[in-house]
C-alpha cells in the first residue's frame, strides 16, 4: 500500500475547489440545445440551464418540440423590465391538438435558485402559488433583483438582443400592472437545434506532483 501523500492531496482539493468557484463566478452553464423564436420583428435565440431548473427546462423544451409556441405572442413589453410570452393555451391563434394541450396545461414545481435576474435571462411566469408555472415566461430586459429567488430561471438569450431592442421601442398601453404593446408581437414559428440538455458526465484527471486526482464534473 502506498503511503498517503498529504501535500499533493491537499493541492488537488484546492484546485478542484478553485475550479468550482470559477465556474460559479461565470454563471450557470448553458446546455448545447438552442431554441429560436421567429417573430414579426426578428429572431430571438435562447439556451437552457438544465443544471439550475431541470424540470422546467424539460417542460419548456417539450413545448417547443411540440410546436406549442407557434402563433403565440408577447403580450407584455415593459421597457427595461421584461418581455413576457403568453400562456400558449390562451395566447395561440392556431388550435391545439390533445398532446399540445396536455403538456401546456401542466404545472411545474417552482425551481428557485440563486441565479440573478439580469438582462437576457429567461424566467417563468406564475400565479401566487409558487408551483403554478405553466408555459408563460419572461425575457428580462434589464436587471430586476426584486425577482431573485421568487421566479424560476431556466435559461438566457444567446442571440437576438437587437430584436429585444426593437420590441422595447414599440408603442404600449397600460392595463393594470401590465405594460402591453398596442400591436401583436407574434411568434410566427419556432425551431430548435443542438444536442439534448441531459447531463454529460466527464471525468477529469489532474496530475499534481505525479499523483493522479480524480473527480467528476457536469457539463450541460
For 20-38, how does the pLDDT look when each residue is reduced to its tens digit (9 = 90+)?
444 444 689 999 999 999 9
State pLDDT tens for residues 161-173. 999 999 999 999 9
Which helix (H) or strand (E) segment holds residue 200: the answer is strand 200-208
Side-chain half-sphere of 170: how many Cα atoms within 13 Å?
A: 22
Q: In the numeric block, which cell numbers belong to residue 64? A: 417547443
What is the C-alpha separation between 160 and 139, in angstroms, rounded? 11
State pLDDT tens for residues 59-80. 999 999 999 999 999 999 999 9
Predicted local confidence at residue 202, as pLDDT: 33
State whether residue 217 is helix, strand or coil. Answer: strand
What is the C-alpha separation between 16 and 182, in angstroms, rounded? 52
- Contact assessment for residue 139 and residue 44, using Cβ atoms and an 8 Å cutoff: yes
Strands (E), 20-81: 34-39, 42-48, 73-78
Neighbours of 181 (CB within 10 A): 19
What is the C-alpha separation between 220 and 218, in angstroms, rounded? 6
- Residue matched to cell numbers 443542438: 194
Which helix (H) or strand (E) segment holds residue 186: the answer is strand 185-193
Q: In the numeric block, which cell numbers belong to residue 28? A: 450557470
Q: What is the mean pLDDT of residues 94-101?
A: 96
Does the domain at 34-193 match CATH 2.40.100.10? Answer given as yes
- Contact assessment for residue 217 and residue 204, using Cβ atoms and an 8 Å cutoff: yes
What is the C-alpha separation between 123 and 118, in angstroms, rounded? 10
Q: What is the mean pLDDT of residues 183-191?
A: 97
Amino acid at each position: 500500500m502506498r503511503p498517503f501523500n498529504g501535500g499533493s492531496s491537499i493541492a488537488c482539493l484546492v484546485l478542484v475547489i478553485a475550479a468550482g468557484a470559477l465556474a460559479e463566478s461565470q454563471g450557470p452553464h448553458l446546455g448545447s440545445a438552442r431554441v429560436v423564436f421567429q417573430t414579426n420583428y426578428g429572431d430571438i435565440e435562447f439556451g437552457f440551464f438544465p443544471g439550475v431548473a431541470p424540470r422546467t427546462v424539460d417542460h419548456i423544451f417539450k413545448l417547443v418540440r411540440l410546436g406549442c409556441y407557434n402563433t403565440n405572442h408577447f403580450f407584455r413589453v415593459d421597457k427595461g423590465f421584461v418581455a413576457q410570452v403568453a400562456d400558449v393555451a390562451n395566447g395561440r391563434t392556431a388550435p391545439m391538438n390533445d398532446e399540445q394541450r396536455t403538456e401546456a396545461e401542466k404545472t411545474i414545481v417552482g425551481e428557485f435558485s440563486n441565479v440573478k435576474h439580469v438582462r437576457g435571462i429567461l424566467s417563468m411566469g406564475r400565479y401566487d402559488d409558487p408551483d403554478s408555472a405553466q408555459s408563460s415566461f419572461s425575457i428580462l430586459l434589464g436587471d430586476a433583483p426584486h425577482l431573485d429567488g421568487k421566479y424560476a430561471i431556466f435559461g438566457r438569450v444567446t442571440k437576438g438582443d437587437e430584436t429585444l431592442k426593437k420590441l422595447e421601442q414599440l408603442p404600449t398601453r397600460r392595463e393594470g400592472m401590465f405594460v402591453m404593446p398596442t400591436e401583436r408581437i407574434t411568434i410566427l414559428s419556432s425551431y430548435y437545434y443542438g444536442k439534448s440538455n441531459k447531463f454529460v458526465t466527464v471525468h477529469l484527471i489532474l496530475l499534481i506532483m505525479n499523483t493522479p486526482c480524480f473527480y467528476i464534473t457536469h457539463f450541460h
